[in-house]
Amino acid sequence: MANDELVLYTIFRSSAAWRVRIALAIKGVKYVSKAVSWDNKELMAELLSLNPAGRIPILVHNGRVLTESLAIVEYIDEWSKTVIDWTPRGPKRGRGRPQARWKDLFIRAIGPTFLREARSHEWHAMHIRAYS
């Protein structure tokens, strides 16, 4: 792993992982994505060595392992040097946590809609393959 490389262990359908991927996209941060599959024993062993609870997302950066999505988002916000801030800077920083919690509620509210759409597309694609 390169010294300044960010590695994100993620699952497509995880709303917590979505939060991190959205923050990375908004901040314009490049990262390596490791899509976790519960069937991939080698990757699962790697994941469990980083987070024994086996929870997603996990961000690894410069030897640091972060495992909670809001903590990861705050870390990305403080670490990256972009114009866009996920949470306020300076004295207004105290308002950042409630904003992050609001964003968490927002993602939880829209997440099921996106999952329904994803499942619909998967079902449609599966049908096309089956009857082609």
Q: Phi and psi (nearest 5°) for 65?
A: -120, 120
What is the Cα–Cα distance from 10 to 16, expressed in whole angstroms? 9
Per-residue model confidence as pLDDT tens digits over 18-73: 889 998 998 889 999 998 887 888 888 888 999 888 888 999 999 999 998 888 98
Mean pLDDT in the chain? 80
Domains of the chain: 6-130 (3.40.30.10)
Instruction: State the alpha helices, DSSP H only, in 28-95.
Output: 41-50, 69-79
The set of residues, in sequence order, having a beta carbon less than 8 Å from that of 14 and lying 6+ positions away, is 56, 57
pTM of the model: 0.66
Report how far residue 11's alpha carbon sits from residue 73's, in angstroms, rounded to the nearest whole number: 16
